[in-house]
Chain A
Amino acid sequence: MIEPNRKGEVWVFAEQEDEHISDMSLEICGKARELADRLEVPMAAVLPGWNVRELSYRLIAHGADRVYHLHDTRLEHYRTLPYARVMCRLIAKHEPQIVLFGASSIGRDLAPRVASEMKAGLTADCTDLEIGDYLDKKTKTTHQNLLLQIRPAFGGNIIATIINYDRWPQMATVREGVMRMGSGDPARSGQIVDEHIEFAEFDEAIKLIERHREKRKVNLKAARTIVAGGAGVGSRDNFRLIHDLAGAIGGAVGASRAAIDGGFIGKEHQVGQTGTTVRPALYIACGISGAVQHRAGMEESAKIIAINWDKDAPILSVAHYGIVGDVSKVIPMMIKAIKERA
């Protein structure tokens, strides 16, 4: 652990695979930039890898003042121990006040290991981050400018704000898709700092024998419009209507957990807490009752239309437009209306 350090930088762990930086890391850079401005400290990214120095410029474009870059064959593919070694050594050396990771399979493997070694606090899967003060009622001390780590808990039924005022750095993993990704400014300037660290023999305890990556087939996050279906669609055959409407407006197809459990469509289409979190310009929820886990993944959409036969369905509570009616009748009307306009 490090002592609270008000001059410390705000850090982002820059996740890259196969020389491609993850969108999630860039989203988090945008948020980290805001936090750093608020605290009036620099924002930096840590970029471990092998032959990835070029990626530093994208991190700078997205707000980093500084990129700590590591070039080592042992860092070519992500493995817990060498990456944890990098993060712990650099945290001890530079004493950042905040360290953020994406809540990806990599971030959720790495961040807890690092937090444990640093004996620092870590909050998982944040959906928002702010800077704020905290009054400790027992000691009547106000801790100023802390990182407020906001996350859902208990299956998304409550929202908790977590703080860590004494055992720093303040660490959090951030859910994919909840921070807005900026377009990046290629004219921004920043510094690339080449770091070297010594590894230990134990860091090589795990050998990667075989590695296989799949391209994400469904890109819900990038979609401007999403048409999503739930249990109320009724059957796999009826789900064709969802595809048809998505086709008519050029949107992507999403689904609730119930539709996936019902076998209407594949899991890669799932929107919600255990699926993808989305914030499109338009979200059309068809026959989705709106369990809290689903709403948590889509309620940030700019416009929400809910079609449901049940006027008391919770989805209507987050909708801007509600159509209380039968999905199999309303969707064809929508398709017709769209085609007539075009």
Chain B
Amino acid sequence: MAYHSIVCVKQVPDTARITGEAMRADGTLNRAALPAIFNPEDLHALEAALALRDAHGGIVTALTMGPLGATEVLRQCLYRGADRAILLNDRRAAGSDTLATSYILSQAARKIGSYDFVFCGRQAIDGDTAQVGPQLAEKLGIAQVTYFERLVELTDRTVRMRRNVGNGWEVIETTVPLLVTVLDTANEPRPASARRLMTYKRARTEAEVAQQVGADLKGADEDAREAELADRLEPLRMNKLVIDQWGLDDVDADLQWCGIAGSPTKVHRVQSIVLTKDGYVEIPPTAEGVKKLIQELIVDHTFG
């Protein structure tokens, strides 16, 4: 039996590289100052899907929701072996919390049609919530297996998986369709294949091509741009290098559950981390200094 897997991936700011320049004076984050990367655990989700396909047959569809720039993570998926890639891009999706995000993703999964597995990374490094996976499973009305570590057995529609729950592990058995969230210890993501990279580095969403045409034909009238866009898309289509791009209407999303309107959680305040202590007592690195410190700690009962 061959399986269809959908892999949900996300482009995230590289939070490990936050510097002072990325913080504005009011304590909010300037995302533009950070490099955008493929969310690390999503690479492991992609690998889990690709490995399953390589062993059992089927196809892998990569799905991301984000700005136009997020197409880059879809190209990364194609370089590594994904069969199809879809960008969900709509201004009205901006401001979505995890509940609204999972609703929109569920609508996209429904439009994709029949699937056996939905793979997600356990969590994204910008929010660290780990909520979208379980919420997407609920929205799709399917079971979830979180903290996936390895596939034990897959026969027909029955699957056994091992999950790592932190203070131990368990093996569960269930049937597809199923949503799986993947840990970074589950596998070693494959690198991009050189051959696929040569092919798919030209892959574009229509909006990306339009953006490029706009930049190249500054001042040209609309007809000229339209014609140029059609000319550029034609060879991409022939070579199957157009990445699908869907908006909320394409996935029949009910707007009351999308974006800010669909998000029960609101950000009330954001502060950058402000260190509160005024200063520290400096102890000289000498036997005498250290001795005094230890004495002080004994006197104030920190010791014993």
| Chain A residues within CB distance 8 Å of chain B | 1, 80-81, 84, 104-106, 108-109, 111-113, 115-117, 119-125, 134, 148-149, 152-167, 202, 205-214, 216, 225, 249, 281-282, 292, 295, 302-303, 305-307, 314, 316-326, 329-330, 333-334, 336-338, 340-341
Contacts and interface: CB of A to CB of B under 8 A. Distances in A.
Given A212-B168, A292-B273, A124 B290 contact: no
Nearest to A104: B166
A225 B301 CA distance: 12
A13 to B, nearest CB: 15
6 contacts: A125-B128, A161-B268, A167-B264, A321-B280, A322-B282, A341-B295
B55 to A, nearest CB: 21
Where chain A touches its partner, the secondary structure class is mixed
Nearest to A106: B165
B285 A326 contact: yes
Given A158-B27, A307-B285, A321-B293, 4 more contacts: A202-B143, A211-B168, A302-B302, A305-B293
B29 interface: yes
B275 A317 contact: yes
B25 interface: no
B298 interface: yes
A329 B284 CA distance: 12
Contacts of A163: 265-266, 268
B68 interface: no
Name the residue in B27, B29, B168 with the highest tally of chain A Cβ atoms < 10 Å from its Cβ: B168
B170 A112 contact: no
Contact of B170 (A165, A208, A281): A208
B225 interface: no
Contacts of A208: 170-172
B160 interface: yes
Nearest to B132: A112
B277 interface: yes
A121 B97 contact: yes
B290 A81 contact: no
Contact of B280 (A116, A319, A325, A333): A319
Contact of A121 (B126, B127, B134, B265): B265
B144 interface: yes
A112 B135 contact: yes
A325 B285 CA distance: 6
B187 interface: no
A292 B20 CA distance: 12
Contacts of A249: 303
A108 B15 CA distance: 21
Nearest to A168: B264
B83 interface: no
Contact of A329 (B144, B147, B277, B285): B285
A160 B28 CA distance: 10
Contact of B16 (A116, A155, A161): A155
B294 A337 contact: yes
B294 A162 contact: no
B265 A123 contact: yes
B99 interface: yes
B166 A124 contact: no
A41 to B, nearest CB: 21
Contacts of A212: 168-170
Contact of A154 (B13, B143, B174, B283): B13
